C-alpha cells in the first residue's frame, strides 16, 4: 500500500504542477535493506522477496542499482522492540546490514552493551554504503547518535566515512527525567514519540580530508510548535556552532579531560585479566544488578506470597514441553527463558531460593533467586553466595539519565536499583570462589598505589573501600566530574587527607548498611480520621511536603517535624524519603495472572512499619547531609599529580 500511495502522490503532484499526466516509472517495490546488490565493495546476496513480483519491477530495481547515487534522503520507518516475548512482534533480521553494523559501529564502540540494530541505524548503515565517493545523506531520525554512550561507535564510523555533518537538534527526549526532561521540551512529532529527534546532513567529498561537525539546537523548554517554526530558518542563515570531537568521539557535553590521571574504579581489562600484573583498576570484578525480566513473579514483600507465586511459575513452566512452538500466556516469556526451555532445563521449586534483595534504595524485597527464571543474574552467585557475608557499592551505570546515585548494600541489588529505566552496577568488597573461599575484590595494584601516595599507616583494603565510598558522596567531585560519570565508571582522585575521607566513608557505610537499626527521628504524628462508609480504609496519599516538613501518609494520617534538610539526601532523582513513599504506593500489577491471584498489597497493612522506617530514614538523611556538607566545606581538592 505505501508503494502505490507514493506512486500516486508523485504522479498527482507532477500533474498539478505541469497540468499533464505522466506515468512515474522509477519507483521500486522492494525492501530497501534487502536490496544490497549495489553496496559497492560490501555487496552481498541479492534477496528476491518483493522484487520478484514482476519483471518490470525487477528491471526497475536493477536499473537503480546500476546508477551512481549521490543523494539519499530518508525518514526511516521506525518500530520499537517488543515489550515481551509474549508479544511475538520481533524486528526481523537483515543479515548483511546487521553484519556491517557489527563490523563497523559495534566494533568501534567502547560501550559495554550496544543496541545498534534499530531501523534508524540500519538505514544509516545502508545509506552510507550505498552512497558514491561524493554525495549527501540527509536524515530525520532519533537523536541518540549525537550523545548516547552506546553510539560512540556510530560517531567514530561517521568521522571515518564522511567529511562534514550539519545537524539540527530538535531535542524532545521523553525518556530523560527531572529538569533534564523539562529542558527537552515537546516532541516535534507529538507526545506519542518518546525519542529525541534530529535533522542532519552528512557530506562525503573525495577531495577532502578530516571531519567537521556543524551543530544547531532548538532552545530548551521549546514546545512542538516552536520547534516547527525553528526549522523554517534556512541552513545558510543559521549560526551553526562547530564542534570539535574529543578523543573518545564525544560530540556534545564533553567531559573533563584530566580523568586519565585518576584511578579507575573498575574496567573490563582488569575484570578479564588472568594475571595480577594486568590488573589496573581498584576493583577486580563488578557486575550489573539482577535483571529478572519478570519482577511481578520473582519479587514480593511477603516471603509466603512469593513462595506461592514461584511455585505456580515453576509448575506452569514444567507443563510446557521442550519442543513447544507455542507458549502459554500464563508466563511472561523472554528469549532466554524460551532458549532454556528448548534445552529442556527444569528446576524444582525450593524455599532455599527465597532470599532478601535490594530492590530499590532502602526498600528490600524477597527475591526468588532462580538460575532458570531470572533472566540475567549478573555475578550474584560470585558476590553473594548463600553462606557468604559481603557488602557492595551500588552505583549508576554508564549512560544513566538520572542524577548520579551510589549506595552501599548487603546482598543482591536489582538492575534498576535507583531508577525505573537506568541500569546499576555493583562493586563488592569481596568475591567468593566456587568452593566458598572468600577473597579480596580490591586489587593489589590499587593497594600499592594508595600506599605509594599516603604511606602504609592506616592504608588497608578496608580503608580504601571506605575512602571510595566517601568520594562517591562528595558534592564537589560530582560537580566536577558530572559528565564523566555519565560516560564511564568513576575514576577516583587522591584527596589530601586520606584518613579524614576514609573515616567519613566508614561512617556513611555503617549508617547506610544498618539503616534498619537507626535511632528514629522524633517525628510528630497527627491522626485525624475522616468519615468513611462501613469498613472502607483511608485513601493512600503518600506525598511529601519538604517546605512544611510534612509527609501526608493517607487521608487519616500525616507526620511532621521533619527538617527540610532531610530531603536534600537524594539518590538519583528522588530523596531517600520519597523512595520510601514511592515503594509503598498501591500499583496494579501488569501481569494479568499476578493481578488476578496475588494483588494483595494494601498500604494500610504496611502503614505502621512504613512510618517507623521513615523516622529512621530521616535520621539517616540528616546525618548523611551533615557529612556531605562537611565535605563541601573542606579546603583542597583532588590531587591529579
SS percent in the chain: helix, strand, coil, step 5: 40, 15, 45
User: Which residue in 472, 441, 474, 467 sits closest to 453, CA to CA?
Assistant: 467
Name which residue leads in pLDDT, 142 or 427: 427
Q: Judge whether residue 15 has pLDDT over 80.
A: yes
* 518 within domain boundaries: no
Specify whether 97 is located in the same domain as 241.
yes
pLDDT of residue 50: 47
Q: Is the same domain home to 359 and 505?
A: yes
26 falls within a domain: yes
Q: Among 68-72, 295-299, 369-373, which is the least confidently predicted range?
A: 68-72
Same domain assignment for residues 183 and 299: no
Which pLDDT does position 401 carry in this prediction?
Answer: 78
Residue corresponding to grid cell 518483493: 50
HSE-up of residue 227 (Cα within 13 Å, Cβ side):
23
Residues 75 and 62 in one domain: no
Task: Say whether both 243 and 285 belong to one domain.
Answer: no
Q: pLDDT tens, 487-497?
A: 889 999 999 99
Nearest C-alpha neighbor of 378 from the set 451, 290, 457, 313:
290
Which of 102-116, 213-227, 388-402 has the weakest average pLDDT? 102-116
Same domain? For 59 and 164 the reply is no
Q: What is the pLDDT of residues 521-534, one digit of tens each?
A: 999 999 998 877 76
* For residue 295, pLDDT beyond 80: yes
Domain of 274 in residue numbering reads as: 263-513
d(CA 595, CA 46): 49
Task: Measure Cα distances from 506 to 462, 464, 476 in Å.
Answer: 9, 10, 19
Say which CATH number the domain at 202 has: 3.40.50
Cell of 114: 550496544
Instruction: Name the helix (H) or strand (E) containing 161.
Output: helix 152-161
Cα(266)–Cα(488) distance, integer angstroms: 10
Are both 611 and 622 inside the same structural domain?
yes
pLDDT band (50, 70, 90) for residue 53 = low
Q: Is 641 a member of any domain?
A: no
Contacts of 93 (CB under 8 A, 6+ apart): none
The answer to whether position 177 is within a domain reads yes
Domain boundary among 32, 50, 67: 67
Answer for the pair 396, 485: CB distance below 8 angstroms, yes or no: yes
What is the model's pLDDT at position 91? Answer: 61
472: in domain: yes
pLDDT digits (tens, 9 = 90+) for 351-404: 999 999 999 999 999 999 999 999 999 999 999 998 889 999 999 998 787 889
Decide which of 136 and 639 is more confident: 136
pLDDT beyond 60 at 610: yes
Are 85 and 119 contained in the same domain? yes
Lowest mean pLDDT among 81-85, 176-180, 540-544: 81-85
In tens, the pLDDT along 186-211 reads: 888 887 788 889 999 999 999 999 99
CA distance readout (Å), 376 to 66, 379, 393: 47, 9, 19
**DSSP designation for 235:** G
Lowest mean pLDDT among 43-47, 223-227, 231-235, 606-610: 43-47
User: CA dihedral defined by 218, 219, 225, 229, rounded to 10 degrees?
Assistant: -50
Q: Which is higher by pLDDT, 7 or 366?
A: 366
Residues 220 and 305 occupy one common structural domain: no
Looking at the domain assignment, is residue 122 inside a domain? Answer: yes
- The answer to whether residues 513 and 409 touch, using CB atoms and an 8 Å cutoff, is yes
Q: Report the pLDDT value the prediction gives residue 255, as an integer from 0 to 100.
A: 56
If one compares 410 and 233, the residue with the highest pLDDT of the two is 410
243 and 141 in a single domain? The answer is: yes
Select from 80, 73, 85 the least CA-distant residue to 32.
Answer: 73
**154 secondary structure, DSSP code:** H
Mean pLDDT value of segment 131-140:
91
48 pLDDT higher than 50? no
What's the start-to-end Cα distance of the chain, in Å? 65
According to the model, what pLDDT value does residue 259 have? 57
Question: Given 220, 254, 288, which residue is the final one in a domain?
Answer: 254
The model's confidence at residue 617, banded by pLDDT at 50, 70 and 90, is very high
Number of domains in the chain: 4
Q: Inform me whether the pLDDT recorded for 635 exceeds 70.
A: no
Model confidence band, residue 433 (pLDDT cutoffs 50, 70, 90): very high
Mean pLDDT of 253-257: 58
- Residue 637 inside a domain? The answer is no
pLDDT of residue 178: 66
- Which of these, 337, 407, 343, lies nearest to 376 by C-alpha position? 337
**Residues 415-442, mean pLDDT to the nearest whole number:** 93
Phi, psi of 387 (to 5 degrees): -100, 5
**418, 177 contact by CB (below 8 A):** no
Q: Quick one: pLDDT band at residue 536, thresholds 50, 70, 90?
A: confident
Residues 299 and 440 in one domain: yes
Is a pLDDT exceeding 70 seen at residue 84? no
- The verdict on residue 369 lying in a domain is yes
pLDDT band at 256 (very low <50, low <70, confident <90, very high): low
Chain length of the chain: 641
Chain-wide mean pLDDT for the chain? 88
412 within 8 A of 394, measured Cβ to Cβ:
no
Contacts of 221 (CB under 8 A, 6+ apart): 182, 183, 185
- Determine the 3-state secondary structure of 447 from DSSP: helix
- Strand 212-217 and strand 164-169: the pairing is parallel
CA distance 259 to 513: 30
At 622, is the pLDDT very low, low, confident or very high (cuts 50, 70, 90)?
very high
Contacts of 173 (CB under 8 A, 6+ apart): 143, 181, 184, 194, 195, 196
pLDDT bin (cut points 50, 70, 90) of residue 51 is: very low
| Cβ(419)–Cβ(406) below 8 Å | no
Please state, for a pLDDT cut of 90, what percent of the chain lies above it.
Answer: 59
**Side-chain half-sphere of 500: how many Cα atoms within 13 Å?**
12
Last residue of some domain: 32, 47, 67?
Answer: 67
* Confidence band, pLDDT 50/70/90 cuts, at residue 93: confident
Residue 616's pLDDT band (cuts 50, 70, 90): very high
CA-based nearest residue to 260, from 575, 595, 609, 641 = 641
The string of pLDDT tens digits covering residues 560-595 is 999 999 999 999 999 999 999 999 999 999 889 999
Say whether pLDDT at 45 is over 50: no
Do residues 538 and 604 make contact, with C-beta atoms less than 8 angstroms apart?
yes
Residue 421, classified by CB atoms within 10 Å of its CB into exposed (0-12), middle (13-18) or buried (19+), is exposed
- Dist. CA 428–CA 410, nearest whole Å: 9
> Per-residue pLDDT tens for 501-513?
999 999 999 999 9
| pTM, two decimal places | 0.72
**pLDDT of 640 above 50:** no
Q: Do 299 and 443 share a domain, yes or no?
A: yes
Q: Which residues neighbour 641 within 8 Å (Cβ) at sequence distance 6 or greater?
A: 261
Closest to 135 in 3D by CA, of 168, 104, 96, 161: 161
β-strand 135-142 against 197-204: which pairing, if any? antiparallel
Q: Is the dihedral of CA 197, 201, 204, 207 positive or negative?
A: negative
160 with 151: CB under 8 angstroms? no
- pLDDT of residue 42 exceeding 70, the answer is no
Amino acid at each position: 500500500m505505501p508503494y502505490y500511495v507514493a506512486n500516486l502522490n508523485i504522479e498527482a503532484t507532477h500533474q498539478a504542477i505541469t497540468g499533464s499526466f505522466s506515468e512515474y516509472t522509477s519507483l521500486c517495490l522492494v525492501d530497501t535493506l534487502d536490496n544490497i546488490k549495489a553496496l559497492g565493495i560490501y555487496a552481498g546476496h541479492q534477496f528476491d522477496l518483493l522484487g520478484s513480483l514482476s519483471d518490470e519491477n525487477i528491471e526497475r530495481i536493477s536499473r537503480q542499482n546500476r546508477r551512481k547515487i549521490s543523494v539519499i534522503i530518508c525518514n526511516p520507518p521506525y518500530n520499537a522492540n517488543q515489550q515481551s516475548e509474549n508479544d511475538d512482534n520481533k524486528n526481523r533480521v537483515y543479515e548483511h546490514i546487521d553484519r556491517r553494523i557489527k563490523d563497523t559501529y559495534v566494533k568501534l564502540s567502547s560501550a559495554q552493551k550496544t543496541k545498534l540494530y534499530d531501523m534508524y541505524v540500519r538505514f544509516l548503515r545502508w545509506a552510507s554504503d550505498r552512497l558514491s565517493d561524493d554525495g549527501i545523506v540527509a536524515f530525520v531520525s532519533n537523536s541518540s547518535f549525537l550523545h548516547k554512550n552506546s553510539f560512540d561507535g556510530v560517531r567514530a564510523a561517521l568521522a571515518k566515512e564522511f567529511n562534514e555533518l550539519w545537524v539540527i537538534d530538535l531535542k524532545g527526549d521523553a525518556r530523560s527525567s527531572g529538569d533534564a526532561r523539562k529542558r527537552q521540551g515537546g516532541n516535534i512529532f507529538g507526545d506519542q514519540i518518546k525519542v529525541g529527534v534530529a535533522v542532519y546532513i552528512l557530506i562525503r567529498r573525495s577531495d577532502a580530508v578530516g571531519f567537521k561537525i556543524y551543530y544547531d539546537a532548538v532552545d530548551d523548554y521549546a514546545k512542538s510548535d516552536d520547534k516547527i517554526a525553528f526549522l523554517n530558518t534556512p541552513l545558510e542563515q543559521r549560526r551553526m556552532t562547530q564542534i570539535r570531537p574529543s578523543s573518545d568521539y564525544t560530540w556534545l557535553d564533553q567531559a573533563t579531560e584530566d580523568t586519565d590521571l585518576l584511578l579507575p574504579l573498575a574496567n573490563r581489562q582488569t575484570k578479564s585479566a588472568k594475571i595480577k600484573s594486568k590488573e589496573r583498576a581498584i576493583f577486580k570484578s563488578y557486575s550489573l544488578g539482577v535483571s529478572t525480566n519478570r519482577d511481578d513473579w520473582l519479587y514480593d514483600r511477603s516471603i509466603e506470597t512469593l513462595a506461592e507465586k514461584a511455585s505456580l511459575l515453576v509448575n506452569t513452566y514444567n507443563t510446557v514441553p521442550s519442543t513447544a512452538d507455542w507458549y502459554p500466556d500464563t508466563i511472561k516469556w523472554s528469549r532466554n527463558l524460551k532458549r532454556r526451555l528448548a534445552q529442556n532445563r527444569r528446576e524444582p521449586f525450593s524455599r532455599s531460593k527465597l532470599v532478601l534483595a535490594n530492590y530499590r534504595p532502602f526498600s528490600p524485597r524477597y527475591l526468588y533467586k532462580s538460575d532458570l527464571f531470572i533472566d540475567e543474574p549478573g555475578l550474584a552467585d560470585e558476590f553473594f553466595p548463600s553462606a557468604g557475608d559481603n557488602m557492595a557499592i551500588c552505583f549508576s551505570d554508564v549512560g544513566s539519565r538520572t542524577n548520579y546515585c551510589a549506595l552501599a548494600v548487603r546482598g543482591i541489588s536489582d538492575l534498576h536499583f535507583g531508577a525505573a529505566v537506568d541500569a546499576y552496577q555493583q562493586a563488592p568488597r569481596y568475591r567468593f570462589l566456587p568452593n566458598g573461599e572468600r577473597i579480596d575484590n580490591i586489587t593489589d595494584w590499587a593497594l600499592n598505589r594508595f600506599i605509594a601516595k599516603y604511606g602504609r599507616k592506616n592504608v588497608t583494603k578496608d580503608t580504601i573501600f571506605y575512602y571510595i565510598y566517601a568520594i562517591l558522596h562528595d558534592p564537589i567531585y560530582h560537580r566536577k566530574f558530572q559528565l564523566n560519570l555519565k560516560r564511564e565508571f568513576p575514576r577516583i582522585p587522591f584527596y589530601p587527607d586520606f584518613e579524614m575521607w576514609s573515616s567519613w566513608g566508614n561512617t556513611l557505610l555503617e549508617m547506610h548498611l544498618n539503616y534498619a537499626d537507626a535511632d528514629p527521628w522524633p517525628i510528630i504524628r497527627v491522626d485525624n480520621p475522616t468519615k468513611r462508609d462501613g469498613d472502607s480504609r483511608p485513601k493512600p496519599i503518600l506525598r511529601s511536603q519538604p517546605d512544611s516538613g510534612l509527609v501526608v501518609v493517607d487521608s487519616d494520617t500525616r507526620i511532621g517535624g521533619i527538617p527540610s534538610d532531610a530531603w536534600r539526601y537524594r539518590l538519583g532523582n528522588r530523596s531517600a524519603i520519597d523512595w520510601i513513599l514511592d515503594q509503598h504506593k498501591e500499583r496494579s500489577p501488569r501481569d494479568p495472572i499476578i493481578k488476578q491471584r496475588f494483588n494483595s498489597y494494601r498500604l494500610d497493612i504496611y502503614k505502621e512499619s512504613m512510618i517507623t522506617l521513615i523516622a529512621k530514614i530521616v535520621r539517616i538523611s540528616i546525618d548523611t547531609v551533615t557529612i556531605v556538607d562537611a565535605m563541601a566545606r573542606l579546603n583542597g581538592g583532588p590531587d591529579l599529580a
